[in-house]
Amino acid sequence: MLPKALRERHGLTEGVRFDVTEDGASILITPRPSPVRIVEEQGRLVARGGGPVTDEIIRDILEDIRP
């Protein structure tokens, strides 16, 4: 079983599908992207699906793009 903090950091929630690749002594787990669909809610188009976006994911993205 993967530790909870690791699952949360990478959006591995129940039902998320992933690919597993072996490379010698290493194992690579890659989440498969969830299909995103565009729906109308209260007169606005909204993207649904694609997995959860957590505060930590946002922080990681900001750290990656800041000079």
pTM summary value: 0.42
pLDDT of residue 48: 82
- For the stretch 30-56, pLDDT in tens is 877 777 788 899 999 888 877 667 788
Q: Considering just the CA atoms, what is the radius of gyration of the chain in Å?
A: 15
18, 27 Cβ separation under 8 angstroms: no
Tokens 């530790």, residue located: 3
Q: Which domain holds residue 49?
A: 4-65
In the chain, the number of structural domains is 1
pLDDT of residue 40: 92
